[in-house]
Amino acid sequence: MTKESQNETMKITTQEVLPGFIRFISGANNYCGCINAFGPGSFFKNVASMRQIHTNLGGEQIKFRTPSTIESLYLASYDLKNKTKPEILDKGGYNGHSLGRGSWLHLGLITISSEGIYANVPDDPNNKLTEEKLKKLLDKCEKFHGVYLGEKGFGFVPYDSFRTGNFGSAKEFASGGLARLLEGAKNETAEMLKIMSSDWDYKQGICVAKFETINEPVTKIVGIRSRRFGGPNDPLGFTNHGFGADVHDGFEVNGNLNIDGKDITPPSGHIDTSEGYMFGVIENE
C-alpha cells in the first residue's frame, strides 16, 4: 500500500512505496529513491556501496545509481526537518578539520568550465570532456531566466547569471542561477533550496564557494552542510553569538549553510575533507 502526497509549490507527487523508499513523480520524471543515505564516506566509497546488490523490505534485489542534483534535493527535502537536517547537515564532529561543521551531503556532480557551470553532465564514452563537447550539449536545452535546462537534470549556468560568496537571505540565494541550476528550476526561485537554507535555521546566511572559473573543464561534487556554532553547554567553549536554533547532541546548530564545489579526489598530501553522505536512486526502474 502506498502513501501519497502532493507538493503544489514544487509540482510533485510523492509515494511511499516501502518504508524508506519514496517515488517522486514530477512531469516526465518518475523515479524511486531511498531516504536512508549512504555514508559517511568519500564519493567513490559511497558510489561503490550503491553498486552492490541490496534487498528491500519487499524481498526484491536492487542496485542504486548516483542521483542527479535535482533527485538529491527531492530526497533531501522529503523529510528535511526530522531526517536530512539533524542526521546529515547538522551532524558533525568537533575534532580535527570537522571542528564546528556538519557533514557534507553530496548532491551530485558538476563540471566547472571557463564559461560557467554544467550540472549532471551525461557520461562521455571517451571519458574526456572538452569545452566543445559541453557546448554541443546545450543545443538540446531550453533557457529559463538565464539558466539552460535539458534532459535528466542536465543544465548550464554562465558565470554572469550567478555569484559566489555570502548571501544574507535564503530568498537571495535561491533566486540565483546556481541554485536554480542545481534544482532544475524553470521559474525564478529554487523552492527546495530556499526552504533548505531558511533564514530561521541559518542566521548568518549562506556561503557559496569553490566554483571559480578555470581554463580546462573539471568535475567536482556539490556539497552542502551546516556550519555550527556551539551552544551554552559546549565543552569547547564555542559561543552561540546570541542566536536561537535547534539543539542536537547538546550543541546549538547555528551559523550558515555552506555550499561548495568539492574536489572528488583531494590534492596529493591534503586531508580529504569532502567525505559525506549521498542518496541513492534505484537503477533501471
> Does 39 map to a domain?
yes
What lies within 8 Å, CB to CB, of 151 at 6+ separation is 140
- Residue 283 is assigned to a structural domain of this protein: no
Place of cell 526537518: 81
Residue 44 placed within a domain? yes
**For position 280, what pLDDT does the model report?**
93
Same domain, 74 and 103: no
pLDDT of residue 266: 61
The C-alpha cell 517515488 sits at: 23
Same structural domain, 143 and 265: yes
Same domain, 138 and 12: no
Cα separation, 219 vs 122, in Å, equals 12
Measured CA to CA, the distance from residue 242 to residue 240 in angstroms comes to 5
Last residue of a domain, one of 30, 61, 87: 87
134 and 231 co-located in one domain = yes
Q: From CA 205, how far away is CA 258, in angstroms rounded?
A: 9
Phi, psi for 23 (deg, rounded to 5): -95, 135
Q: Are residues 83 and 16 in the same domain?
A: yes
Please name the residue ranges forming H helices in the chain: 43-51, 69-78, 131-137, 170-174, 177-183, 191-196
Please report whether residue 281 resides in a domain: no
Closest C-alpha among 25, 45, 41, 43 to residue 33:
25
Tell me, yes or no, whether 81 and 196 share the same domain.
no
Same domain (yes/no): 172, 213 = yes
Asked if the structure places residue 282 within a domain, the reply is: no
pLDDT for 146: 96
Domain contains 284: no
The CA-based diameter of the chain, rounded to the nearest angstrom, is: 56
Residue ranges making up the domain that contains 73: 3-87
Q: Do 111 and 146 fall into the same domain? A: yes
Q: Do both 9 and 135 map to the same domain? A: no
Distance CA 220, CA 242 (A): 36
Say if residue 107 is in the same domain as residue 77: no
| Distance of alpha carbon 34 from alpha carbon 23, whole angstroms | 9
The count of structural domains within the chain is: 2
The three cell numbers locating residue 152: 535528466
Contacts of 2 (CB under 8 A, 6+ apart): 15, 16, 17, 23
Whether 20 and 121 map to the same domain: the answer is no
Domain boundary among 87, 106, 125: 87
Position 12 in a domain: yes
Show which of 41, 66, 87 is a domain's final residue. Answer: 87
Which residues of the chain, if any, have pLDDT below 70?
1-12, 17, 26-28, 92-102, 125, 127, 228-254, 266-274, 285
d(CA 206, CA 69): 18
CA distance 103 to 80: 14
DSSP letter for 86, please.
I
pLDDT score for 251: 46
- Residue pair 195/246 in contact (Cβ under 8 Å)? The answer is no
Residues 34 and 71 reside in one and the same domain = yes
